[in-house]
Amino acid sequence: METERKKLYSAIQPTNNLTIGNYLGAIKNWVNLQSEYDCYYGIANMHAITVRQEPVKLRQKTLSLLALYIACGIDPEKCVLYLQSHVSAHAELAWVLNTITYVGEMERMTQFKDKSARHADNINMGLMDYPVLMAADILLYQADVVPVGEDQRQHLEITRNIAQRFNNAFSPTFTVPEGVYMKVGAKINDLQFPDKKMSKSAENPNGSIFLTDDRDTIIRKFKRAVTDSGSEIRYNPAEKPGVSNLLSIYSVFSDKTVAEAEADFAGKGYGDFKLAVGEVVADKLGPIQSEQVRLEADRQYLDGVLKSGAEKAARLANKTLAKVYKKIGFYQI
């Protein structure tokens, strides 16, 4: 008898330009895990509107993120790729989960505090409710594992709490998911401020390598990357945050361990090292970029992927939602 495979859920917001942080912290891991799990990969456009978006750009970024998923090696024949707003169960389950989530818990979320500071003129209810919608995403698909970067750890923890709280109050309903983090790559830092996370929305674009950057830009940014005092190329995030960040990037992009990466640069100077990191990143991103451009031009294909993705996603999501509605006492005809 065929055993049922475990389920995997993850998503990315179609906002700004994705960085190598998003690639290394999330997408690369997704590609590796797709043959092991039943995978659901969302495009989180409902999360995106918790900060202001230009409608035309949001639409464009949605398709280019889908094209990127596929260009990076996620196979739409094996995985369900879909747009969050196409499956109405996300909003419906989020509403139910809101009623078992406390305002105080949401106010304590680091990302809410950060984003409230950055968007002080738009601290809307959606921004605060963001983790509940994320919990709904994950729980609808009964996900066993959720591969994300380190910055999502707190949201994963609250998802687990919400799932357990519901299960205890109404009887077991949701799988309690585990976060999966890359050993190296779960937190890629800014090239100019190596104590800060590399971010899609950073003010200084020189600190982030965007997945759309061309070869010259990539190499220039790495050449300018902040290193540390001393001249040794050694992995030690506390003492050498700049060099360690570059070693992490090099090691994941070249599929080598950090120790192998260190060995590659034994006795070499920072200049050679930074050039080599730039080259390995540019070599890897080049083919992804051309494939993304090719796919973006094929609207019919992308629409087809989204359509079949939405149907498959809705099937499972609606099944979970129906269970929830029954358990909480919503009358069904």
Which residues are part of the catalytic machinery? 115, 197, 200
Q: How far is the CB of 237 from ligand TYM (least distance, A)?
A: 13
Cβ distance to ligand TYM smaller for residue 188 or 276: 188
Distance from the first to the final alpha carbon of the chain: 35
Q: 189 pairs with which residues across the strands? A: 197
Does the footprint of ligand TYM cover residue 175 (CB under 6 A)? Answer: no
Residue nearest to ligand TYM (CB): 25
Binders in 189-208 for ligand TYM, by CB under 6 A: 197-198
Cβ distance to ligand TYM smaller for residue 65 or 276: 65
Among 7, 28, 72, 149, binds ligand TYM (CB under 6 A): 149
Among 80, 132, 138, 163, binds ligand TYM (CB under 6 A): 138
Which of the ranges 182-190, 250-258, 302-310, 325-333 carries the binding residues for ligand TYM, by CB under 6 A?
Answer: 182-190
Categorise residue 96: left if φ over 0, alpha if ψ from -120 to 50, beta otherwise: alpha
| CA-wise closest residue to 251 among 214, 281, 289 | 281
Task: Give the helix ranges, DSSP H, for the chain.
Answer: 20-22, 28-33, 45-48, 55-71, 89-98, 103-107, 110-118, 125-140, 153-170, 215-223, 241-253, 258-264, 270-296, 299-328
Among 7, 8, 22, 252, binds ligand TYM (CB under 6 A): 22
Among 137, 194, 235, 265, binds ligand TYM (CB under 6 A): 137
Binding marks (x or -) toward ligand TYM, 291..320, rule CB under 6 A? Answer: ------------------------------
**Integer Cα distance of 221 and 172 in angstroms:** 50
Which of the ranges 62-70, 148-156, 230-238, 287-295 carries the binding residues for ligand TYM, by CB under 6 A?
Answer: 148-156
Which of the ranges 186-194, 212-220, 273-281, 284-292 carries the binding residues for ligand TYM, by CB under 6 A?
Answer: 186-194
Which of the ranges 114-122, 185-193, 227-235, 257-265 carries the binding residues for ligand TYM, by CB under 6 A?
Answer: 185-193
Q: Are 301 and 73 in contact (CB under 8 A)?
A: no
Among 26, 80, 93, 324, binds ligand TYM (CB under 6 A): 26
Does the footprint of ligand TYM cover residue 9 (CB under 6 A)? Answer: yes
Task: Please enumerate in sequence order all residues whose Cβ is within 8 A of that of 182, keeping only pairs 6 or more positions apart, or say none.
Answer: 24, 25, 28, 29, 147, 149, 252
Q: How far is the CB of 327 from ligand TYM (least distance, A)?
A: 22
Among 148, 252, 277, 302, binds ligand TYM (CB under 6 A): 148
Q: Put the strands of the sheet holding 80-83 in their side by side order.
A: 80-83, 38-43, 7-12, 145-147, 178-180
| CA-wise closest residue to 15 among 289, 221, 202, 206 | 202
**Integer Cα distance of 167 and 95 in angstroms:** 16
The set of long-range contacts for 104-112, using a CB threshold of 8 Å and a minimum separation of 24, is 105/158, 105/161, 106/131, 106/132, 109/154, 109/155, 109/158, 110/154, 111/151, 111/154, 111/155
Does the footprint of ligand TYM cover residue 179 (CB under 6 A)? Answer: no
Cβ distance to ligand TYM smaller for residue 17 or 301: 17
Does the footprint of ligand TYM cover residue 25 (CB under 6 A)? Answer: yes
Q: If binding means CB under 6 A, how many residues of this protein chain bind ligand TYM? A: 25
Binding site for ligand TYM (CB under 6 A): 9-13, 21-22, 24-26, 44, 47, 134, 137-138, 146, 148-149, 151-152, 186-188, 197-198
